Amino acid sequence: MSKRDYYEILGVENSVSEKDLKKAYRRVAMKYHPDRNPDDKESEEKFKEASEAYEILSDAQKRNAYDQYGHAGVDQSSGMGGGGAGFGNFSDIFGDVFGDVFGGGGRGGRGGPARGSDLRYTLELDLEEAVKGTTVKIRVPTLVHCDPCDGSGAKSGSKPTACTTCGGVGQVRMQQGFFSVQQACPNCQGKGSVISDPCTSCRGQGLVEETKTLSVKVPPGVDTGDRIRLAGEGEAGAQGGPTGDLYVQVSVRDHEIFQREGKNLYCEVPVSFVDAALGGELEVPTLDGRVKLKVPGETQTGKLFRLRSKGVAPVRGGAPGDLLCRVVVETPVNLTLKQKDLLKEFQATMKGGKNSPKQSSWFDGMKEFFGDMKL
């Protein structure tokens, strides 16, 4: 009995793209799948035809042979003969087609060595250490390969054997109604091997816990939130797999004098009301030592003075920031009687708003405000 044309079976032209071919097969396979058509021999035959057609046309070499010679060009190479594709072959085809939709493929990954987990360590630094850079020692608990068994988990002189349940693949396929689902082998937990004589040091895990002491070089200019990566200092991988990385997360402690914003530093400088009024020279701190700051006469609270390049050099390069000093005028306390008398005498000389322009304008605004309320 002559076979139907494969393109006709899937309802496509012979110029169909690979993507559209897959869509066409999906449509036909879902329509005639035996689970949807129980005890329907005709649907079963059409389903087998569609599976056979897709297996040939989805293979570029077989499709080329079919396009040139028809069924004669593929019957022998496909190994299917006239009976069509069986359900065993279909499971792989069907998984390939629908795997992108349901999160699984027709051919799952094998068990074997796996990369170890990455670790994170929070490193607290003083502002001076963060700005200038430093080298610190840290202790990190982690998992390392067991020495007696060299990470295999098997006792010295023995070795793991291939799992008989999954054949060493690490995964098994379960048929659940319409779909073929692939999952980790329940016997070997996806490893692909079993250990009959486990190592006594690690109890067959291949890994043991250990606290490592590491030296961390902190570059100048780091700030809270920056990360330093130490490659290969994370947890060891299972079954001899590669080691993960350690990420050192920087956290800078609050400073009693300075606040940092990006590459700039800020600080408050207390100034006596005499120096603020008459002007003077003050010593202010920086991270490199003390410097002189000239305060002009009639300086008000909140005035910012910028000290160029006294901030932070960015960790990724560039010009250093500035130190901005905010003046805070201090009111004197613990005055003697003589000091109070002198202030009263001084106060008597303060006539009108000439000496306190902000105070004068504030009172004028208040009078205007209350005058408007009376209206």
What is the pLDDT at residue 362? 53
| CA distance linking residue 152 with residue 158, whole number of Å | 10
Burial class (CB in 10 A: 0-12, 13-18, 19+), 231: exposed
Same domain, 115 and 245: yes
What is the pLDDT at residue 98? 43
Within 8 A by CB and 6+ apart from 145, the residues are 151, 206, 207, 208, 236, 240
Kind of pairing between the strands at 323-330 and 264-272: parallel
**356 within domain boundaries:** yes
| CA distance linking residue 183 with residue 105, whole number of Å | 11
Give the domain-ending residue among 232, 253, 274: 253
Within 13 Å of residue 321, how many CA atoms lie on the same side as its CB?
18
Cα-based distances in Å from 295 to 55, 182, 279, 286: 87, 77, 5, 17
| CA distance linking residue 30 with residue 17, whole number of Å | 20
Same domain, 61 and 148: no
Backbone angles phi, psi at 196, to 5 degrees: -85, -30
| CA distance linking residue 232 with residue 7, whole number of Å | 53
Same domain, 30 and 65: yes
Same domain, 229 and 133: yes
> Whose structure tokens read 């990190």?
140
* pTM score of the predicted model: 0.57
Same domain, 68 and 154: no
Same domain, 232 and 348: no
Q: Which two tokens stand for residue 163?
A: 């799992």
Here the CATH number for the domain that contains residue 131 is: 2.60.260.20
| Residue 103 near residue 182, CB atoms below 8 Å | no
Max CA distance (Å), the chain? 126
**1 within domain boundaries:** no
Q: What is the pLDDT along the chain (375 residues), one digit of tens a residue?
A: 567 888 899 998 888 888 889 888 888 888 888 777 778 888 888 888 888 888 889 888 888 888 877 877 776 444 443 334 433 344 444 444 444 333 333 334 455 677 888 999 999 999 999 999 999 999 999 888 888 888 888 888 888 888 888 877 888 877 655 566 777 888 887 778 888 888 888 888 888 888 999 999 999 999 999 999 999 999 988 777 788 999 999 999 999 999 999 999 999 999 998 999 999 898 999 998 999 999 999 899 999 999 999 999 999 889 999 999 999 999 999 999 999 999 999 888 877 656 666 655 555 665 665 565 554
| CA distance linking residue 55 with residue 50, whole number of Å | 9
* Single-letter code of the amino acid located at 34: P
Same domain, 125 and 168: no
Helical spans, DSSP H, in the chain: 6-10, 18-32, 41-57, 60-69, 75-78, 87-102, 127-132, 273-278, 337-348, 357-374
CA-nearest of 291, 292, 310, 300 to 271 is: 300
Instruction: Report the interhelical angle of 87-102 vs 41-57 (nearest 10°).
Output: 70
Same domain, 202 and 190: no
b/e code 261-299 from CB counts within 10 Å (16+ = b) = eebbbbbebebeeebbeeebebebebbeeeeebebeeeb
Same domain, 148 and 227: yes
Same domain, 212 and 122: yes
Q: Which two tokens stand for residue 331?
A: 């009111």
What is the pLDDT at residue 279? 92
> Strand runs (DSSP E) across 44-88, as ranges?
none
Within 8 A by CB and 6+ apart from 98, the residues are 26, 179
Instruction: Report the interhelical angle of 18-32 vs 41-57 (nearest 10°).
Output: 160
**297 within domain boundaries:** yes
- Tally of domains within the chain: 5
Give the domain-ending residue among 194, 209, 239: 194
Give the domain-ending residue among 228, 253, 278: 253
Same domain, 243 and 136: yes
Q: Which two tokens stand for residue 97?
A: 């087609």
**57 within domain boundaries:** yes
Within 13 Å of residue 311, how many CA atoms lie on the same side as its CB?
27
Q: What domain range is 348 assigned to?
A: 338-374
| Residue 287 near residue 132, CB atoms below 8 Å | yes
Here the CATH number for the domain that contains residue 28 is: 1.10.287.110
Same domain, 232 and 317: no
